[in-house]
Structure 1
Amino acid sequence: MRINLCITVVFLLTITSNAQSRKNQERLTFVKNSEKIVEAKGWCLSYKTNQWVENRNAIDYQKVESFWVSHLSQNFKWIQFSKLNYNQKEYYVFIYEKLSGEYKYPYIKKDWIKENQTHVFILGKNQYLNLKNRISKQDGVTYEIRTKLKGFITDKYNSLGGNYSYNTENILFKIQNLLQNTTYKDYCLSYNSQVIDGKPVVRFKLPTECGYSKEKLDKEYFEISLELFDKILL
C-alpha cells in the first residue's frame, strides 16, 4: 500500500511539473515606417582626374553604367527608417536595399551573378535622437553612429522559400537575431548637415566597418536636400 502511494505521488508530481503553459516568443513588428528616399547624388573626387564625379544612387571615381552598379559597395535602391519595440525598448532601424553580387568563378572573375540585398543598421533611441538633433544643426561637422547591430538578407536563395524568402518577415527575423546575438564587428554610419550655396543639404555614406579614423566625408559621399532627408526621419 505504501509503495503504491509513493508511486502515485511521484506520478502526480511528474504530471504537475510537465504541465506548463506554452508561451510564444515575442514577435517583432515595425510600429512605424518612414517614406523612402529613392534618389540621391553620389559624389566622388576621382583619384585619376582630381575632378568630382557624379552618379545616381552610387559612389565611384568614374561614371558608371547600370550593369556595373552591383559591383559597388556604396549604392542603394531606396532608404528608410523604421521603428520597433523589443524587450520594452525602442529601436530605430536604418534600412536600405542595394544591388550586390559575386562571381560564379571568383578566382578568374568570370560570370558575375547579381543579387538584391536589404541591409539593416540598428540604432538605440538615444542614438536616433542625437542623429535628428545633429541633422537639424546644419553645422557641417561630420558625426558617426557606431553599432554592432548590422546585417542583411539577400534574394539569392529566394526560390527556396521559407527562411530564405526575400520579404519583410525575414528582415524582422534578421533584426531579432541581431538584437539577441550581436556581431563582434563595429559598423559606422557617417553623416553631416550643412548649407551649400544657400541650400541646406545632408551628406552621408552607407554603413561600413568602422576604421581607425572617423570618415571626413570630404572626398566621397551621397548628397540630398535636407527637405528630402527629413522625410525619412520619424
Structure 2
Amino acid sequence: MGKKLQSTDRLRPVDLARGHGLSTQAVRNYEEAGILPAAARTPHGYRTYTPLHDSALRAFLALLPGHGHPTATAIMRAVNESKPDEAFRLIDESHAQLLEDRRTLRDVESALRDLDPGSAGPTEPGGTFIGPLARRLGIRPATLRAWEDAGLVRPRRDPRTGYRVYDEAAVRDARLTHQLRRGGSPLERIAPLIAHVRAAGGLAPLEAALAEWHGRLAARGRAMLAGAAELEEYLRARG
C-alpha cells in the first residue's frame, strides 16, 4: 500500500468525500478531530489529500460499528500521533467489553433456564412482605434488604405501615437475583442483567429478545474483525 503513495497522487476534499459517501465538511471535521492526518495545502490554501488519507478514512469507518464513535476516534487519533500502544489498549478494552457482554448474556440465559417457576410461591394480589418472600427463597430478610440497597430489587412501601411490599415485578427480580447469586455472580454483575429484564418488560419478553441479543453481539464481533483489518492496512501504509 505504501509504495502506491506517489507524489502525484492527490485527492481533492470532494474526491475523498465522494469515495465514502460523505460530505466535504465531514472530511474536514474528521481531519480536525485527528481522525485523519493533517492535509497538505496548496499555495492558495486548499487542502489536498492522498491515498494515505483514504486509507485512514476507510479504517475509521470500519472501526465505527464495532467500537463506537468515541473509541474509534480515540484509536485513530492515537495512531496518527504515533502512539500505537494506546490504540491497541483501546481496542483491547472494546474486546474486553464485548466479552463481558457475552458473559452477561450467558448468565441471563443460564438463570432463565434454571429458574424454578414455583420457587417464590404465588404472589398475593396486594404484594408479598419481606418475611414470607425471604422464607420462600430460603434466604434471610437482610439479604433482600442488601439487594434492595444494590438496586436489584425495588419493593414499594406500604403508606400506612412503611413495610416493604414486593409486587410481582419485585418478586421476579428477587427470584432472578437469587438464581444468579446461586450461580456465583457478584452483585455488580447482576445489576445489568436485572436492568435488561426490566427494559424488556419481564422474563417472557426477555426470552424472545435473546436471539436478537446474540445477533447484536455477533455483529459487533465481526465488525471488530473488519475494523482491525482496515486498521492494519492503514498502519502498513503509514510505514
TM over 0.5: no
Greater helix share, structure number:
2
Higher relative contact order (Cα pairs below 8 Å, separated by 6+ residues): 2
Higher strand residue share: 1
Structure 1 or 2, whichever has the larger Rg, is: 2
TM-score, with normalisation over the residues of structure 2?
0.27
TM-score (norm 1): 0.27
